[in-house]
Amino acid sequence: MLESAIAFRSPPARMPRTAVLPQPPTDIAATLHSIGAQLLVRGWLSANNIVFGDGPGGATVVDTGYFSHAAQTVALVEQGLQGQPLAQVVNTHLHSDHCGGNASLQRRWPDLRISVPAGYRAHLLPWDESGLSYRDTDQQCEPFVPQAFITAGDSILLGRRAWQVHAAPGHDPDAVLLFEPDSRTLISGDALWESRLAIIFPELVGEPGFDAAHQALDLIEALQPRLVLPGHGQAFSGVAAAIEASRQRLRAFAAAPLKHRQHAARALVSYHMLEHRSRPRAALIAWIARTPIFGKALQCESDPALALALATATTDRLVADGVLVQQGELIALADG
């Protein structure tokens, strides 16, 4: 997720509601072709979808976008598969923007098998919104039932190739990344983006996460990927520069954890506004003040007056930064 969200200081002029499918550079296109993958680069709120055509494991999609985009995800996957049935969904982690299409895809293809990282098992059977972060963040995800669990050390078939499963903690303790050693292609989820850093969610609730995020970057460096298919943004091959940028950002946040918490709060409000586009100012501030993740991140859970003051300050900062705009009693996305 989103939310795994990020700073939206410079949002695109208009957040794309449809998938953006520009032609990738020739070498990236050649690698994608060789591994039988299509990268569907989605606009926020949805994570990218990586579609693999038929192979021994059947057609597969890695990550499925946000709940409110699920119909579009189904249509894009149908288009990508050109009539083949989808056999498998694999999720890098279970933030709402990465698995929100799982239930819709399984309705469309009832034999679909959903494979998720094993760390989430206790929160899925039965479905537990609190354990899955959706209650804390007040984000939506339609419940689904997984058929298989993947864990570090496993090998899974995506298309015609075997991909290694590695642990990728930091952004989320139970996340995994997927690596194909012949082409040296990495599906990084939210563990590595090209130029920004995803929220380190454990740190928002008083648990350590910065060191684990460094370890995930060390692992990626050791794998020496040639091509990264990230959870958000275009495929990229400048892996060393991306790792270094993430390390710098991590070091800065570790030195000033309050800044990370405040940054995360603003990113999560931005994410919420991407879903709602426009809300009455009072309603937005009340939502921030009562939604658990903000109380935990801003350490005001037991002080309603402080929670309201910090919710107001967070909103005002987003307006001052130009991410949100005030229109009378309404707050709207600046691009909306």
Q: Is 335 helix (H, G, I), strand (E, B) or coil?
A: coil
Residue closer to Zn ion, measured from CB, 115 or 139: 139
- The footprint of Zn ion on this chain (CB under 5 A) covers a number of residues equal to 4
Residue closer to Zn ion, measured from CB, 146 or 159: 146
Residue nearest to Zn ion (CB): 4
288 vs 281: CA distance, rounded Å: 11
Residue indicated by tokens 């939310």? 3
Q: Does 1 bind Zn ion (CB under 5 A)?
A: yes
Q: Does 139 bind Zn ion (CB under 5 A)?
A: no
Non-local (6+) Cβ contacts of 13 within 8 A are 335
Q: Please, what is the minimum distance in Å from the beta carbon of residue 82 to Zn ion? A: 29
Q: Please, what is the minimum distance in Å from the beta carbon of residue 36 to Zn ion? A: 25
Q: Please, what is the minimum distance in Å from the beta carbon of residue 150 to Zn ion? A: 17
198 vs 220: CA distance, rounded Å: 16
Instruction: Find out whether 314 and 284 touch, Cβ atoms under 8 Å.
Output: no
For residue 251, which amino acid is it? R
Of 24-32, 190-198, 207-215, 235-243, which part binds Zn ion (CB under 5 A)?
Answer: 190-198
Residue closer to Zn ion, measured from CB, 59 or 176: 176
Of 184-192, 208-216, 271-279, 326-334, which part binds Zn ion (CB under 5 A)?
Answer: 184-192
Please classify residue 83 by burial: count the beta carbons closer than 10 Å to its beta carbon, then call 0-12 exposed, 13-18 middle and 19+ buried: exposed
259 vs 281: CA distance, rounded Å: 24
Instruction: Find out whether 189 and 175 touch, Cβ atoms under 8 Å.
Output: yes
68 vs 45: CA distance, rounded Å: 9
Q: Please, what is the minimum distance in Å from the beta carbon of residue 91 to Zn ion? A: 10
Closest CA to 279 of 235, 238, 198, 336: 336
**Pattern 87-116, Zn ion, x by CB under 5 A:** --------x---------------------
Q: Does 4 bind Zn ion (CB under 5 A)?
A: yes
Residue 202's Cα: distance from chain center in Å? 15
Residue closer to Zn ion, measured from CB, 180 or 190: 190
Q: Please, what is the minimum distance in Å from the beta carbon of residue 49 to Zn ion? A: 14
Of 2-10, 73-81, 260-268, 320-328, which part binds Zn ion (CB under 5 A)?
Answer: 2-10
Of 30-38, 48-56, 186-194, 236-244, which part binds Zn ion (CB under 5 A)?
Answer: 186-194
The CA dihedral of 60, 65, 68, 74, to the nearest 10 degrees, is -20
Q: Please, what is the minimum distance in Å from the beta carbon of residue 47 to Zn ion? A: 7
Q: Is the dihedral of CA 93, 97, 103, 107 positive or negative?
A: negative
Choose which of 63, 136, 190, 194 interacts with Zn ion (CB under 5 A): 190
Q: Please, what is the minimum distance in Å from the beta carbon of residue 207 to Zn ion? A: 16
Which tokens go with 250?
A: 């991590």
Q: Is the dihedral of CA 286, 282, 96, 71 positive or negative?
A: positive
Reading across the β-sheet that carries 330-333, which strands appear in turn?
278-280, 330-333, 324-327
Q: Please, what is the minimum distance in Å from the beta carbon of residue 285 to Zn ion? A: 25
Residue closer to Zn ion, measured from CB, 98 or 279: 98
Of 185-193, 220-228, 247-255, 274-282, which part binds Zn ion (CB under 5 A)?
Answer: 185-193
- Give the binding site for Zn ion (CB under 5 A): 1, 4, 95, 190
